[in-house]
Amino acid sequence: MTGFRPTRTELLGFICCLLGFIIHVTDRSTRTVGGVDVTYDYDYATAGFGAVAVLLAMKALAGVQSHAAWPGRVKALHVLTAGVVALIGLYQIASGAGVLRLV
């Protein structure tokens, strides 16, 4: 049985996820809506890296199907890895759009 080795696509997905936490290109705007000041925060780099990470996760999932020689356990680890990359990428997109702030 061969061991689990992340593919190049999965590694690039993780790198994009990590870069979203490190590189920030932000913008802030304030508007008055009904007498209340509303502040919008955007982080274009985080949202962009998140989108690229989600695309790479989808590419990794498509690549799992093309490797019929992988055993079932190794395929499951590749699917899990792609799922983690996709979830972190979705968090990055929501965080960059100013919809979700956990940190």
Cα separation, 39 vs 53, whole angstroms: 28
Q: pLDDT per residue over 26-57, tens digit each?
A: 888 888 888 888 888 889 999 999 999 999 99
Q: Is residue 15's pLDDT more than 90?
A: yes
Over residues 7-13, the mean pLDDT reads 92
pLDDT of res. 102: 63
pLDDT of res. 18: 92
Q: Is residue 103's pLDDT more than 60?
A: no
DSSP code string of 79-90:
HHHHHHHHHHHH
Map out the domains of the chain as residue ranges.
8-96
Confidence grade of residue 1 (pLDDT, cut at 50, 70, 90):
very low
Q: pLDDT per residue over 49-102, tens digit each?
A: 999 999 999 999 888 877 766 677 778 888 899 999 999 999 999 988 888 766
Contact 13, 56 (CB under 8 A): yes
More confident of the two residues 1 and 35: 35
Burial (CB < 10 A; 0-12, 13-18, 19+), residue 75, is middle
